[in-house]
Chains A and B, each alone.
Chain A
Amino acid sequence: MIVAEHLTKRYGGRTAVDDVSFTVEPGRVTGFLGPNGAGKSTTMRMVVGLDRPTSGRVTVDGRAYADSPAPLQEVGALLEARAVHPGRSARSHLRALAATHGIGDARVDEVVAMTGLSAVARRRVGGFSLGMGQRLGIAAALLGDPRVLVLDEPVNGLDPEGVRWVRQTVRHLADEGRTVFISSHLMSEMAITADDLVVIGRGRVVAQGPVRDVVGGVGGASVLVRSPRAGELGSLLERSGARLERRDDGALVVRGPDAAAVGDLAAGAGIAVHELTPQQSSLEDAFMTLTADAVEYATSPSPPAGPHGSGPRPAGPGRPDEEARA
């Protein structure tokens, strides 16, 4: 279990992590989700003591990571793909790390095999692809058979097969009762992999909890309704306690009752319904909503233009031709 309490990290005047508190439970995969530059890596570096918090603290199974007599058996960390000297072979790299804990060569060869690196283990790491480097990082994280795994963007640079392997590995590790804390800026990845989420933006936790709750808390399920008597149906729904959003095209977005309840209500009042579509807000929507104010490098202050170029265009500098065409 990882417990962060009011974790804050400032570099000079810049606050990278701002009063962050969360708990990562054992037996579950907890996704650490946020845009690039949100403070994910800094937080993870503080978990394993590479960065000292400016204030607050983070503990692993009840104590600071550095206080563990056998840190690699406590936490396996993949922090950056290339935390490896390029002139050393993969096996030598792992042997050197293993030696600090008296972990034998048998275990080194075991994690090499687990991560599919056997064929290249004696080659120098400098020639490794990004994906192979990532596998080596994961092999290093697994060396001490740790009860907690901290993986920073583990699928970065992996091919589809590698991505699937990471997902399965992470699931398997969590099913064994281990604590798995895995960061990503890809919502789709977290939607597949994670049980719980900690969403971070600009150094602050903007949401946390089980994936369904985080998604639900942002808007949750809704029902899209079209009716020739939308106005009547709308007031009827509002009287029944539903929350309503009237779209420009006349459709209603109903929150509260499910599709069946909306249909029954309309039928009861004899109102024809032309469309009745349950809508599940995706993790992606939730993520966008949650971090909308917290993206450090926003690319565009406005939504993308519609098919007819009717939407407002971003007033990007140095693109007068774009502006003119729009």
Chain B
Amino acid sequence: MSAATSARPAEPRGGRAVTFGRVVRSERIKLLTLRSTWWVLALTLLAVVAVPLLPAALYAADPASLAGALGPDVGALTAGTEVAVITLGVLGVLAVTNEYSSGMVRATMTAVPRRTPVLLAKGVVLAVLAALVGVVGVLLAWVVTLPLYGDAAPSLATATAWRVVLGSGLRLAGVALLALAVGALLRSAAGAVAVVLGLLLVLPGVLQVAGFATGVEAFGRVVPFLPGQAGAVVTQVAPTGDPLGPWTGLLVMAAWIAVLGGAAVALLRSRDV
């Protein structure tokens, strides 16, 4: 039997082996051939572009008002990415949990029985899409708010501005990856969405309140290291009072992704599909 195996050509009948690049291509096809993906991406882009119109409109109406005083700066252009955190978090979760709910995962893992490349490829595709939507969205927001801000429009020609614009994309990529990891761990959309949004949006507030209520400062001190908070520093023009800077914040978020993603990969390899 082994003789027959070794005598056989490595790539039979003109066929080709599974490579990571091919798995990425497969995952790209999968994600982009679902209508829901396009809906989420369109909604996300709309939010990222449209939300900054609000402070811009207030500024245009009365530059001296309190609301108007928020702008104009590049930070005001990233206001919509807070909505994108929710939509891309859901997209990241669904990208993996819909495989389990539909049974598609059995076809997927039969084609790529090593399994790990599938999750990594999903991560690559999601991260690129989320980053694109973030960066393109913030740039579009700059364009659409130009007429409202007039001469006071924030300049994109500074290092800080580019850090904020690119950072917004990276932060959203991070959110999508975090959601993917949680989705892969829990395999259920409802549970994973709850955990992701809880971790990003609810837990910080709960810890703050717990800190005030109990007087234990540790609660409050943990908050900046949560993935949502740490990842958001990079989108602020002038990071204030945080123990983390823009890039160290992203690193902390990356660490969250690495830990949760590592656990997801380990479980993916050991569990039955």
A286 CB to nearest B CB, Å: 30
Query: Does A96 lie at the interface of the complex (its beta carbon under 8 Å from any beta carbon of B)?
Result: yes
| Set of chain B residues within 8 Å of A61, measured between Cβ atoms | 1, 4-5, 8
Q: B16 contacts which chain A residues (CB < 8 A)?
A: 70, 101-103
Interface size on B, residues (CB 8 A): 43
User: Quick one: which of A49, A84, A100, A103 contacts B23, CB cutoff 8 A?
Assistant: A100
Chain B binder among A87-95, A155-163, A186-194, A196-204: A87-95
Say yes or no for B267: interface residue by CB 8 A criterion: no
Whether A83 contacts B34 in the complex (CB less than 8 A), given A61-B4, A66-B114, A103-B16, comes out as no
| CB closest chain-A residue, reference B32 | A92
B102 A79 Cβ-Cβ under 8 A: no
* B108-127 to A contact mask, C-beta < 8 Å, 1/0: 11111110000000000000
A258 at the interface (CB under 8 A from B): no
In Å, the complex CA distance between A97 and B18 comes to 11
Nearest A residue to B19 via CB reads A102
Q: Is the CB of A97 within 8 A of B1?
A: no
Q: Which B residues from 187 to 218 make CB contacts under 8 A with A?
A: none
Partner-contacting stretch, out of A140-148, A166-174, A233-241, A307-315: A140-148
Tell me the residues in window 88-121 of chain A with beta carbons closer than 8 Å to chain B beta carbons.
88-89, 92-93, 95-97, 99-103
Give min CB distance, B250 to chain A, whole Å.
Answer: 31
Please determine whether A69 and B13 come into contact, CB atoms closer than 8 angstroms.
no
Contact B26 A83 (CB under 8 A): no
Flag whether A1 is at the interface (Cβ < 8 A). yes
Q: Determine whether B221 belongs to the interface, using a CB cutoff of 8 Å to chain A.
A: no
**Contact flags B16-27 to A (C-beta < 8 A → 1, else 0):** 111100110111
A77 to B12 Cα, complex, angstroms: 18
Q: Which of A57-98 contact B (CB under 8 A)?
A: 61-63, 65-66, 68-73, 75, 77, 79-80, 82-89, 92-93, 95-97
Q: Is A292 engaged at the interface, CB distance under 8 Å to the other chain?
A: no
Given contacts A1-B1, A80-B106, A99-B26, whether A70 and B15 have CB atoms under 8 Å apart is: yes
Known contacts A70-B12, A73-B13, A92-B29: A84-B112 contact under CB 8 Å: no
Q: Which of A49, A80, A95, A147 contacts B113 (CB 8 A)?
A: A49
Nearest B residue (CB) for A46: B272
> B10 at interface (Cβ–Cβ under 8 A)?
yes
A51 CB–B CB distance under 8 Å:
yes
* Contacts A85-B99, A100-B18, A100-B111; A62 near B35 (Cβ below 8 A): no
A50, CB-defined interface residue at 8 Å: yes
Number of interface residues of A (CB under 8 A): 45
By the criterion CB–CB under 8 Å, are A51 and B272 in contact?
Answer: yes
Is A123 located at the chain interface by the 8 A CB criterion?
no
> Are A50 and B33 interface neighbours, CB within 8 A?
no
Cβ distance B33 to chain A, nearest Cβ, rounded Å: 4
Chain A residues lying within 8 Å of B98, measured Cβ to Cβ, are 85
How far is it, in angstroms, between the C-alpha of A44 and the C-alpha of B113 when the chains are bound?
Answer: 14
Q: Report yes or no: A62 in contact with B1, Cβ–Cβ below 8 A.
A: yes
Q: Does B103 contact A (CB under 8 A)?
A: yes
Greatest chain A CB density within 10 A among B2, B15, B110 is at: B110
Closest to A66 in B: B113
Contacting residues of chain B (11-61) with chain A, CB-CB under 8 angstroms: 11-13, 15-19, 22-23, 25-27, 29-30, 33-36
A144, B111: Cα distance in complex, Å? 10
Q: How far is the CB of B224 from chain A (nearest CB, A)?
A: 39
Counting CB contacts under 8 A, is B157 at the interface? no
Cross-chain contact B111 with A97 (CB below 8 angstroms):
yes
Tell me how far the C-beta of B84 lies from the nearest C-beta in chain A, rounded to whole angstroms: 22
| Interface residue? A6 (CB, 8 A) | no
Q: In the complex, what residue of chain B is closest to A143 when comparing beta carbons?
A: B111
A62 to B6, CA, bound (A): 10
Distance A147 CA – B8 CA, assembled complex (angstroms): 12
Among A61, A79, A87, A101, the most chain B Cβ lie within 10 Å of the Cβ of A101
**With A50-B106, A51-B272, A82-B102 in contact, is A145–B13 under 8 Å at CB?**
yes
Residues of B within 8 A of A70 (CB): 11-12, 15-18
Contact of B102 with A85 in the complex, beta carbons under 8 Å: yes
A-B pairs, top 10 by smallest CB distance, nearest first, are A92-B33, A66-B113, A99-B26, A69-B17, A102-B16, A83-B106, A83-B107, A73-B15, A49-B113, A62-B5
Sample of 8 further A-B pairs with CB below 8 A, known A70-B16, A70-B18, A100-B111: A50-B273, A66-B114, A70-B11, A71-B113, A82-B102, A88-B30, A97-B107, A102-B16
**B interface residues (Cβ-Cβ under 8 A, vs A):** 1-2, 4-5, 8, 10-13, 15-19, 22-23, 25-27, 29-30, 33-36, 98-99, 102-114, 270, 272-273
**Selected A-B contacts with CB under 8 Å, 26 pairs:** A50-B109, A50-B113, A52-B272, A66-B113, A70-B18, A71-B113, A73-B11, A73-B12, A79-B110, A82-B102, A82-B103, A83-B105, A87-B34, A93-B107, A95-B33, A96-B26, A99-B22, A99-B29, A100-B22, A100-B111, A101-B15, A101-B16, A101-B18, A101-B111, A102-B19, A102-B22
